[in-house]
């Protein structure tokens, strides 16, 4: 094999028979992720009363979860059962593109959800005129296209680099880990990577924080019943946001800070949290918390029986 044509995922080496336990756990997790997210998607799609901005954005989170995990779990399960753990350069960059797009899309969707809650709470009478289906569609399209375009350019910049190594110390293809194998100057990749981080992570999180500060100010001046309803719709979003932000922070820190030394098992768990926990937590939080979604999911399950 020509150097640079294939990459080797080194963390799968010498794991012995425990691979079968990991395979079983991974298979169960992946099935659960697909099942729960599919239930949320179908519930919102089939129920006309759920064709509202808040619920549509919840379904977007589920679609994004299925999109991101589809690039990770099938490859992971294959590698756990395989004796060779090589992946072609093109396939590796494609996997890195999908996983990074998933992370970027998640942030921008959460930003749109914060904006939706801010408009609903601060301008309830104008809400239907502001969050029209057309405006919502445009916002979703712009946010997702922008995220994937930025990530795509980053992966193209990565693909043009000459590699002086082919060993990846990850269980999946990570864009920054691939860049570190380059024997060329990577300053362009580094600068553009910081640009992606700023526009798809830092800026959305800053806007979300601003939105919730404004919401808290409004709630303090409102009645107790108004505050209760506002908190009821905002708390699930805050739980999802905090979980994903912590998971993403762990992943970025582990990949960027070379001096951080942790046990290999802990490093793997922390680096995979953003790909495992949010996709299974999102449908559980929203499916159990919102009565309309929960009732439709129960109806779907009964209909299937």
What is the spatial distance between Cα 221 and Cα 206, in angstroms, rounded to a whole number? 23
Residue 249, C-beta contacts closer than 8 angstroms, at least 6 positions apart: none
Give the residue-averaged pLDDT of 270-292.
87
DSSP secondary structure letter of residue 201:
I
CATH of domain 6-304: 1.20.1070.10
pLDDT of residue 169: 82
Domain segments of the chain as ranges = 6-304
pLDDT of residue 96: 93
pLDDT of residue 84: 80
CA torsion sign, 285 to 35 to 172 to 205?
Answer: negative
DSSP secondary structure of 160-187: TSPBS--EE-SSS--HHHHHTTBSS--H
pTM higher than 0.85:
yes
Residue 1, C-beta contacts closer than 8 angstroms, at least 6 positions apart: 86
What is the spatial distance between Cα 291 and Cα 287, in angstroms, rounded to a whole number? 8
Q: What is the pLDDT of residues 6-64, one digit of tens each?
A: 888 887 777 778 888 989 999 999 999 999 999 999 999 998 889 999 999 999 999 99
């Amino acid at each position: 094999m020509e150097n640079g044509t294939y990459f080797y995922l080194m963390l799968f080496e010498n794991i012995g028979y425990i691979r079968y336990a990991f395979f079983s756990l991974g298979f169960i997790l992946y099935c659960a992720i697909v099942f729960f997210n599919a239930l949320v998607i179908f519930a919102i799609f089939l129920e006309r009363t759920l064709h509202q901005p808040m619920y549509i954005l919840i379904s977007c989170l589920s679609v994004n979860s299925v999109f991101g995990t589809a690039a990770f779990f099938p490859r992971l399960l294959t590698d756990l059962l395989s004796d060779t753990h090589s992946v072609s350069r093109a396939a590796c960059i494609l996997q890195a593109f999908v996983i990074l797009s998933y992370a970027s899309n998640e942030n921008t969707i959460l930003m749109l959800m914060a904006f939706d809650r801010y408009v609903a709470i601060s301008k309830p009478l104008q809400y239907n005129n502001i969050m029209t289906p057309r405006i919502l569609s445009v916002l979703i399209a712009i946010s997702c296209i922008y995220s994937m375009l930025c990530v795509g350019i980053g992966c193209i910049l990565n693909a043009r680099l000459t590699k002086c190594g082919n060993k990846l110390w990850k269980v999946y293809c990570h864009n920054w880990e691939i860049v570190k194998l380059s024997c060329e100057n990577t300053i362009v990749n580094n600068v553009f990577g910081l640009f992606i981080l700023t526009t798809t992570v830092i800026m959305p999180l800053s806007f979300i924080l601003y939105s919730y500060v404004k919401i808290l100010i409004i709630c303090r001046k409102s009645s107790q019943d108004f505050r209760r309803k506002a908190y009821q719709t905002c708390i699930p979003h805050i739980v999802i946001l905090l979980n994903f932000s912590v998971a993403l922070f762990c992943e970025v820190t582990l990949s960027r800070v070379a001096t951080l030394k942790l046990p290999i098992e802990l490093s793997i768990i922390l680096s995979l949290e953003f790909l495992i926990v949010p996709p299974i937590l999102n449908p559980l939080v929203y499916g159990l918390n919102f009565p309309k979604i929960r009732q439709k999911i129960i109806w779907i399950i009964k209909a299937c029986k």
